[in-house]
């Protein structure tokens, strides 16, 4: 079989992403819960949980999400039911497909290097800690790592066979609905493809119409809520004004004239400085090879490198090979490096803890290809068998160490960021559900209404009816539903726990964090993987009886 190496690589990629999918990453994040339940609601009623028919910008928790992953989840939920496995399965499938697409893209881009470079690049992506972790959860950022290389591949093929250009337009057009960061990259991607290949784009009339239609719909969604998502996470938000004002005030306080203080400390200089700092951080060895992601909400534990350390050497070798061999004149190399250069721009424009591996995931395919070029150059320059064997053994050992860390250390490190405990809590609630008139859930949980809806499989019609009341968050000027003081769903009441009242309300089950019940002995405890208490359950009847 001609492509047997690709089959082996793709099978390995699938297994790394599929095995123990429901349990790893440990926990199930609020974003994943929303993806699954919205898909379930659309499957059952044709509407999301807010009663919106087939939304192009699902409201989610009030932050409006890109819809593509949600719709891709509908068949999976229809087949396997509403659970973690079904919600995460599309990520596995599309993450695995990314590996195959990179193989074919590299073959198309670097024809002279042929099969060997394509196998190396796809193999690196298959075992990439960054990509494996991102493809094991229902995370939107995983989709552009497939869609962008696929769109570029179809574009390259479309220059010879026009039908592929329509496929390129469909792929890149759908990308606008995969992840909002993609929208910032979209013009840059089109510009690079045009500049690098100088194609007469006007002769591709149908693809242009299709791309224009997708663009028009994407622009429309910006007026029905999607813009709030971009504004909320932008470094140009309100917080930047406070930082500028403080810097200007301090400069004047230290004796700088106010006019000069305004010249040196204004929003433009502040944003330029912040953007540059953020942008460069995504190319730092700390981000890529040692410290890793700045947060654990996407299944990646901080402190674990996103790439294997030796890949730093391979990337350096690729740069040397490109300069010394004057490969920078080749269109394929220009496009690869240009795509990498623009990839972190959306992440650099966003607020947050920094080093957001999810927002910078679009770097992955291009970094992988560059790393593969370095390996290829070393193997070609030093054509010794033991070097190839050594490189292979290094990646095998590194993969084993990554898997040990992922399965035996990450659950302890990232369970808290991944809302661990709701599945176990729902099993307990199901057993006692009929014994209580009311279940009070602490406001210390993030978006608990959707966790309850998902894990208790509450009828979408019930959720849609109740969500009419949740819309109060909007009229009250709040950003998210869980910022409401009190709201309800079925038997569930979501609010801040008042021990003096809630523990004395008859037939009430109270669910909260340990800090919600200081001085109260819980009736049931859900622990994190490291044994520390995650969730307490207290029965008001039990507390009342003890006090009597």
| pLDDT single digits (tens) 366-416 | 999 999 999 999 998 888 888 999 999 999 999 999 999 999 999 988 899
CB 237 within 8 A of CB 231: yes
| Distance separating alpha carbons of residues 464 and 64, to the nearest angstrom | 16
H or E, element range at 144: helix 144-158
pLDDT tens digits, residue range 191-205? 999 888 876 666 788
State the pairing for strand pair 438-442/492-495: parallel
Count of alpha carbons within 13 angstroms of residue 252, beta-carbon side:
12
Looking at per-residue pLDDT, the higher value among 324 and 177 belongs to: 177
Q: If you average pLDDT over residues 296-307, what whole number do you get? A: 86
pLDDT 10s digits, 151-167: 999 999 998 888 899 99
What are the tokens at 188? 């840059």
Confidence of residue 246 (pLDDT cuts 50, 70, 90): confident
> Hey, where are the domains in the chain?
83-413, 422-547
Query: What's residue 138's pLDDT?
Result: 97
pLDDT at 547 over 50: no
Report the percent of the chain where pLDDT is more than 90.
73
Token readout for 157 is 């093929």
- Cβ-contact 301, 409 below 8 angstroms: yes
User: How large is the C-alpha radius of gyration of the chain?
Assistant: 26
* Sheet of 533-539, strands arranged across: 486-489, 492-495, 438-442, 508-512, 533-539, 524-527
Q: What is the pLDDT of residues 23-80, one digit of tens each?
A: 999 999 999 999 999 999 999 999 999 999 999 999 999 889 999 999 999 999 999 9
444 backbone dihedrals φ, ψ, rounded to 5°: -75, -10
pLDDT value at residue 546 = 47
CA distance 379 to 27: 42
Question: Given a cut of 90, is residue 228 above it in pLDDT?
Answer: no
Q: Is the model more confident about 252 or about 338?
A: 338
Q: Which residues contact 74 (CB under 8 A, 6 or more apart)?
A: 39, 42, 43
13 Cβ contact partners less than 8 Å away, ≥ 6 residues apart? 95, 96, 99, 125, 126, 127
| Among candidate residues 118, 93, 71, the one with its CA nearest the CA of residue 21 | 93
Rounded CA-CA distance 396/127 in Å is: 9
> Strand 508-512 and strand 486-489: pairing?
unpaired
Q: What is the pLDDT of residue 200?
A: 66
Output the CA–CA distances (angstroms, integers) from residue 463 to 140, 328, 466, 511, in the order listed.
Answer: 24, 56, 5, 20
The whole-chain average pLDDT of the chain stands at: 91
pLDDT of residue 229: 56
Lowest mean pLDDT among 93-97, 182-186, 383-387: 383-387
Does the structure show a pLDDT above 50 at 544? no
Q: Are strands 533-539 and 524-527 parallel, antiparallel or unpaired?
A: antiparallel
Ramachandran angles phi, psi of 525, nearest 5° = -130, 135
Q: What is the mean pLDDT of residues 335-347?
A: 95
414: left (phi over 0), alpha (psi -120 to 50) or beta: alpha
The pLDDT, as a whole number, for residue 353 is 67
Number of residues in the chain:
548
Q: Is 20 exposed, middle or buried (0-12, 13-18, 19+ CB in 10 A)?
A: exposed
Q: Which two tokens stand for residue 405?
A: 């860390």
What percent of the chain has pLDDT above 70? Answer: 94
């Amino acid at each position: 079989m001609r492509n047997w190496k690709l089959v082996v690589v793709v099978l390995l990629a699938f297994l790394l992403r599929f095995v123990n999918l429901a349990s790893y990453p440990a926990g199930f994040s609020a974003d994943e819960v929303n993806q699954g339940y919205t898909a379930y609601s659309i499957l059952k009623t044709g509407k999301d949980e807010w009663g919106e028919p087939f939304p192009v910008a699902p409201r989610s928790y009030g932050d409006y999400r890109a819809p593509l992953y949600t719709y891709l989840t509908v068949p999976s939920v229809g087949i396997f039911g509403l659970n973690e496995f079904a919600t995460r399965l599309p990520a596995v499938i599309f993450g695995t497909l990314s590996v195959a697409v990179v193989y074919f893209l590299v073959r198309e881009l670097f024809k002279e290097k042929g099969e060997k470079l394509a196998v190396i690049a796809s193999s690196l992506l298959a075992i990439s800690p960054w990509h494996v972790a991102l493809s094991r959860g229902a995370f939107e950022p995983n989709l552009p790592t497939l869609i962008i290389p696929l769109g570029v591949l179809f574009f390259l093929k479309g220059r010879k066979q026009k039908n592929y250009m329509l496929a390129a337009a469909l792929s890149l057009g759908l990308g606008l609905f995969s992840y909002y960061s993609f929208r910032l990259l979209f013009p840059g991607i089109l510009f690079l493809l045009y500049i690098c290949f100088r194609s007469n784009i006007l002769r591709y009339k149908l693809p242009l119409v299709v791309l224009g239609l997708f663009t028009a719909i994407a622009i429309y969604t910006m007026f029905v809520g999607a813009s709030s998502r971009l504004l909320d996470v932008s470094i140009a938000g309100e917080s930047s004004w406070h930082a500028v004002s403080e810097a200007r005030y301090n400069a004047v306080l230290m004796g700088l004239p106010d006019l000069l203080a305004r010249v040196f400390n204004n929003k433009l200089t502040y944003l330029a400085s912040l953007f540059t700092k953020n942008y460069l951080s995504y190319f730092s060895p700390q981000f890529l090879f040692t410290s890793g992601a700045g947060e654990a909400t996407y299944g990646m534990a901080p402190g674990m490198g996103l790439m294997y350390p030796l890949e730093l050497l391979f990337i350096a070798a690729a740069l040397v090979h490109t300069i010394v061999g004057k490969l920078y004149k080749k269109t394929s190399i220009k496009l690869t490096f240009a795509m990498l250069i623009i990839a972190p721009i959306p992440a650099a424009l966003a607020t947050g803890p920094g080093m957001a591996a999810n927002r910078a995931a679009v770097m992955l395919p291009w970094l992988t290809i560059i790393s593969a070029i370095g390996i290829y150059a070393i193997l070609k320059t030093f054509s010794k068998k033991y070097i190839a064997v050594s490189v292979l053994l290094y990646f095998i050992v590194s993969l084993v160490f990554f898997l040990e860390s992922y399965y035996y250390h990450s659950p302890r490190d990232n369970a808290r960021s991944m809302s661990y405990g709701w599945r176990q809590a729902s099993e307990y609630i199901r057993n006692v559900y009929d014994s209580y008139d009311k279940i009070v859930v602490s406001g210390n949980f993030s978006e608990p209404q959707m966790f309850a809806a998902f894990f208790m499989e509450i009828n979408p019609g019930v959720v849609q009816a109740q969500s009419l009341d949740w819309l109060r968050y909007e009229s009250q000027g709040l950003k998210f539903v869980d910022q409401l003081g009190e709201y309800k769903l079925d038997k569930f009441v979501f609010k801040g726990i008042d021990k003096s009242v809630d523990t004395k309300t008859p037939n009430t089950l109270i669910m909260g964090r340990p800090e919600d019940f200081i001085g109260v002995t819980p009736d049931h405890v859900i622990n994190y993987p490291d044994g520390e208490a995650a969730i307490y359950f207290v029965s008001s009847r039990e507390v009342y009886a003890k006090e009597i």
